[in-house]
Structure 1
Amino acid sequence: MKIDIVSDTVCPWCFIGKRKLEAALAARPDLEVEIAWHPFQLHPDMPAGGADRKEFTAQKFGSAERAKELYDNIKVAGQAVDIPFNFEKIKRSPNTLDSHRLIRWAYSAGCQDALVEILFRRFFIDGEDIGDHAVLIAAAEEAGMDKTLVAELLEKGADRELVSEEDTRARQMGVSGVPFFILNDKYAVSGAQDPAAFLAAFDKIAETEAAEDAPE
């Protein structure tokens, strides 16, 4: 089964959705899957150097108090899937274009899912600035990528346009929020839904394929 995931690296619900998908896959150990991650920038107009986290979230949600209330609720959701969100440690809200470029290259390197996990951890738990090239290079090395090559690609701006175009295509397909999961190019699961939603989709796909393969 092919699973395409449209996501942003600063989206906490995408991290939660990843855990819920993993739980569903654990319940179907015989299911062979190929997972690919695709870009979606929640804040495409974010300055290249990012923004002060407190100022940005207060402006985005109307006040610092409202932002804290929302993130406290996300913390509770994270605890349910063993993600210890540490929002207080995050000092910068980054532009995520470069992190998506790195994720694109990780697909070819065969470590895309591992890299996405590393980026989520470094941002949401360790509070690192994943818009910083040094952080991205360290994440790439941790995932097993060639850090020298990654540094060169980041520096010369490789694949900026391709990543932006892929983001645009997702929006043209009707994706307006993330995470967004596309199964076998036919079925969609929108949002960080519980494992049961994925299991139902898996079963539906299996039923459809069985019907298509049945002799007439």
Structure 2
Amino acid sequence: MTEAATITVDVISDVMCPWCYIGKRRLEAALRQVTDIDVSVRWHPYQLDGTLPKEGKDRQQYLSDKFGGLNNALSFYQQIEAAGAEEGIPFAFDRIRLSPNTLDCHRLILWARADDLQDEVVERLFKAYFIDGKDLTNPETLVDVAQDAGMQSDLVEQLLETDSDLEKTKKSIGQAQEMGVTGVPCFIIDGRFAVAGAEKAETLAAAIRHADETRTAEPKQAMH
């Protein structure tokens, strides 16, 4: 297929967002429904809580503050566990000890684009956090993720010690907010259509097919 025939799906997401993990699974299911269309997926940063300190915050305290008590949080996450189970995600919220600031995670996802490994890195970050209960503020966790995904982990380790692409990442988050994104996941399809939330696979597949059927000869401008 020609480059002009490719439909780009830009996913605005945060790795500490369980609905984004569910949304990834539903997108994958949607792509299996539109195998006749060439689709390219790119991941973009968002922060559910940009006020979290770099070292993160105790998970229990974070949930209590956010939901007005742990019981309220428990009820909320039971719904997410049920939705995750339908998509084959065995959420293990009880293993999570720290709510992370995810800026470094987003830098890692950005770097993974050069090697076309974004999807691998995003998947491993979700698993590390939601299933294994790993600390995403720990550079060692991110280096391990990079290595498992096939990135140059030595380079990643060096870059994490710097502020490389930190401002670029913050700018991208700001761009999403300026576009009107107030929650994630948000799927921007062919730079023209937005699907907000972890919609069902059928909805995402229909949006991709609609984008393919209505596009002009010139490829649309996607996010950068």
Q: TM-score, normalised by structure 1?
A: 0.96
Deviation at 1:131, TM superposition (A): 1.4
**Residue ranges of structure 1 left out of the alignment (5+ in a row):** none
> Which residue does the alignment assign to 1:181?
187
Deviation at 1:195, TM superposition (A): 1.0
Q: Does 2:44 align with 1:38?
A: yes
What stretches of structure 1 move > 2 A for 4+ residues in a row? Answer: none
- Secondary structure at the aligned position of 1:152 is classed as helix
> Which residue does the alignment assign to 1:198?
204
Deviations 1:26-47 (A, max 9, x none): 1122221111100001110101
> Which residue does the alignment assign to 1:164?
170
Stretch moving more, 196-205 or 115-124: 196-205
> Which residue does the alignment assign to 1:60?
66
Structure 2 contact 37–212 (Cα < 8 Å) conserved: no
Deviations 1:49-76 (A, max 9, x none): 0010011011100001011111111000
Amino acid at match of 2:171: E
Decide which of 9, 15, 18 is 1:9's aligned counterpart.
15
Decide which of 24, 27, 51 is 2:30's aligned counterpart.
24
Deviations 1:62-113 (A, max 9, x none): 0010111111110000000000000000000010000000000000121001
Decide which of 118, 134, 137 is 2:140's aligned counterpart.
134
> Which residue does the alignment assign to 2:222?
none
Amino acid at match of 2:54: A
CA–CA separation in structure 1 for the residues paired with 2:183 and 2:71: 24
What CA RMSD, in Å, does the superposition of the two structures yield over aligned residues? 0.9
> Which residue does the alignment assign to 2:221?
none
- Secondary structure at the aligned position of 1:145 is classed as coil
CA–CA separation in structure 1 for the residues paired with 2:39 and 2:206: 16
Deviation at 1:156, TM superposition (A): 1.1
**Residue ranges of structure 2 left out of the alignment (5+ in a row):** 1-6, 218-224
| Matched pairs, number | 211
> Which residue does the alignment assign to 2:106?
100
Amino acid at match of 2:86: A
Stretch moving more, 166-175 or 21-30: 21-30
Q: Does 2:75 align with 1:69?
A: yes
Q: Does 2:84 align with 1:90?
A: no
Structure 2 contact 34–209 (Cα < 8 Å) conserved: no
Deviation at 1:196, TM superposition (A): 1.5
Deviation at 1:203, TM superposition (A): 2.5
CA–CA separation in structure 2 for the residues paired with 1:57 and 1:88: 12
CA–CA separation in structure 2 for the residues paired with 1:73 and 1:65: 13
Q: Does 2:37 align with 1:49?
A: no
